[in-house]
Amino acid sequence: MDHGDDGAADAEGAVRGPEVIRRFARTLPGKPGVYRMIDGEGDVLYVGKARNLKNRVQSYTRFGGHTNRIAAMIANTASMEFVTTATEAEALLLEANLIKKLKPRYNVILRDDKSFPYILIAGDHQAAQITKHRGAHRRKGSYFGPFASAGAVNRTINALQKAFLLRSCSDSVYENRSRPCLLFQIKRCAAPCTGEISLDDYDALVTQAKTFLSGKSSTVKGDLAQQMEAAADHLDFEQAARYRDRIAALSHVTSQQGINPQHVKEADVFGQVVEGGQSCIQVFFFRAGQNWGNRAYFPRIDKSHAPAEIMSSFITQFYDDRPLPRSILLGEDIEERGLIAEALSARAGRRVEVLYPRRGEKKSLVEHAATNAREALGRRLADTRSQSRLLEGVARVFDLDRAPRRIEIYDNSHIQGSHAVGAMVVAGQEGLIKGQYRKFNIKAPETAAGDDFAMMGEVMKRRFSRLIAEHGPYQPDTEPDGDELPAWPELLLIDGGRGQLNTVRAALDELGVAELPVVGVAKGPDRDAGREHFHVPDKAPFMLEARDPVLYYIQRLRDEAHRFAIGSHRARRKKAIGANPLDEISGIGPGRKKALLQAFGSARAVARANLSDLEAVDGISRSLAQTIYGHFNEGAR
């Protein structure tokens, strides 16, 4: 495709396109590095890496031979930035990091970047705790994972508690137990907290659990079977039954894991399918010879991206900040497989294999992953078509110019005005988008407690003031940009009737965004679902047919906002209930707080204490005692 010899010029005369790229290419070194292509607004269009920066960038100045995606990227380029690296492998890792950070329009983007959960058997307490863990591995102990989902971890921990009777309570709960809890009664914990089991015997259970999670499940089962037989031989049938139940719990763990390979001890297996302009990559996690779950990913791609290009970019982004396995198994070969293995090995500090198996058990694993990817993409395409029809129905019902790509739904929750929370949930072309949810703790002094209208007004002002500051003024006629989720909503759904609607419109008008479409969803008589009244500005309220799919869809959105608002309110209320008045006093740290509570029994008793009693507590000076006394006794000196 010919872009013209001198590049393109926009309305302000700024040169863009091949000529801009040519100017940068003249001074570039022939070294490895990473380049960024930037548009006239300063947004990064594309991040790429090169073994030879000069040659790669010069390739963008040649005419013809480019896909429509690359041609558009070149035409919009107004500036470029570069970083040289020592090796191409370093450039590959830097490229992946920048793509995840900047999310350029023309790159393959890993959209679901949530960290994986692990099982942690903590090693910082005399009686080890078993718990779910996300994030950095800073706490002392043994980590087992990754697991594909929190549900997989919870199920495994539940079974391990049955099998090894390890405690899951926090250290503070453990220290304050005076008698065994319910978990001991239902045989889920050995209760080391109250001495029901000696610490030496408990350590033996911990060792067994670690051995099982390290892949030696048959060894652990064999030991338990021997102990069960020994107990039966001594006619201790009650103890034998306990061993039987523990063996059954371990069998449940392995049976729930589906495929458990014989010769693959530690690997991540990737299968991909590309159909209908979308890609699904299914990842299976195998650790210690056990299947610890799988997860489907749907990276953002362009139709011109080849499957191998998608997989290559996906893998480098996937492992940008995740622990690496010994082996990575791919369902298709990729051109830079050797380079990726070199880069990942350098990051891990040990050898990491990136393999394309052609036969045997490993080949079966990648085929199984590809089959799951195909099924997941089929479900997603069906859901997307259904979602598109619903959004088109929403546009029809509320007279919108086009199907909304982003709908924001708002609700409030409080109890007589206390711990009030406003909630926003977001829906779009791919359903509910939980990463975009937001909560607003109602805190403005002018917002009266229990005033739902004022609360909604505060939420609107805070939400859209920030949106204007971050993304500029509202532009209602912005054309869709592919399937990207826009920053601005194209429809607001408010839980409430005409009063709520008028409050929202007043707040939006004050901010200069009065053209935003807003609909109030009022519950029907006796709060019956299906009899909702819809309030639209400058129109009479109306209802939808009882079986209209759009009505069901809006009910689901309203209910999700209600669920999120109530959950946020309960979390805030729980946090407030757990707060200690002593935390508000300057000079009271954990040590002095503990000393005061031990001396008086509770914060309420501290508040009633006289000055001399406070001074008698270890670590409490006379001046600090006066500060504490003054905090609880207004006007005291």
Report domain extents, the chain: 8-102, 118-255, 267-379, 401-570, 581-632
Residue among 100, 29, 104, 39 nearest 74 (CA)? 39
pLDDT at 11: 42
CB 86 within 8 A of CB 32: yes
* Rounded average pLDDT per 10-residue block, the chain, 637 residues: 41 69 92 94 93 93 82 92 94 94 92 81 92 87 86 83 88 87 89 92 90 76 80 81 76 57 85 89 87 89 90 93 91 92 93 93 92 90 84 93 93 74 90 90 75 89 92 74 79 92 93 92 68 89 87 90 87 68 77 84 81 88 87 62
Report CA torsion sign: 358, 363, 368, 373.
negative
Residues in the chain: 637
Contacts of 437 (CB under 8 A, 6+ apart): 423, 424, 425, 426, 564
How far the first Cα of the chain sits from its last, in Å, is 84
CATH number of 401-570: 3.30.420.340
Task: Say what the pLDDT of residue 146 is.
Answer: 85
pLDDT of amino acid 67: 85
3-state SS class at 146 = coil
626 Cβ contact partners less than 8 Å away, ≥ 6 residues apart: 611, 636, 637
pLDDT at position 50, please? 94
- Choosing among 3.20.20.60, 3.30.70.20, 2.40.33.20, 3.40.1440.10, the CATH entry for 8-102 is 3.40.1440.10
Joined together, the tokens standing for residue 485 give 């989720």
CA 494 – CA 552 distance, rounded (Å): 16
In the structure encoding, which two tokens stand for residue 139, read together? 């706490």
Please state, as a whole number, how many other Cβ atoms lie within 10 Å of the Cβ of residue 635. 5
Q: Which candidate, 211, 381, 126, places its Cα nearest to that of 279?
A: 381
Same CATH fold assignment for domains 267-379 and 401-570:
yes
Looking at residue 3, its pLDDT comes to: 37
Beta strands in 63-146 (DSSP E): 79-84, 118-122, 130-133, 141-144
CA 176 to chain centre: 34
Give the H/E segment covering residue 219.
helix 217-233
Contact between 340 and 315 (Cβ < 8 Å): yes
> What does the block give as tokens for 24?
């940068």
SS3 of 239-305 = HHHHHHHHHHHHHHHHHCCCCCCCCCCCEEEEEEEEECCEEEEEEEEEECCEEEEEEEECCECCCCC
Cis-peptide into 525, omega within 30 deg: no
CA distance 268 to 286: 6
- Range 556-561, long-range pairs (CB < 8 A, 24+ positions): 557/407, 557/409, 557/425, 557/427, 557/493, 558/409, 558/411, 558/493, 558/495, 558/521, 558/532, 560/409, 560/425, 560/432, 561/409, 561/410, 561/411, 561/423, 561/424, 561/425, 561/493, 561/495
Domain covering 581-632, topology: DNA polymerase; domain 1 (1.10.150)
Letter for the amino acid at 69? Answer: R
What is the topology classification, in CATH, of domain 267-379? Nucleotidyltransferase; domain 5 (3.30.420)
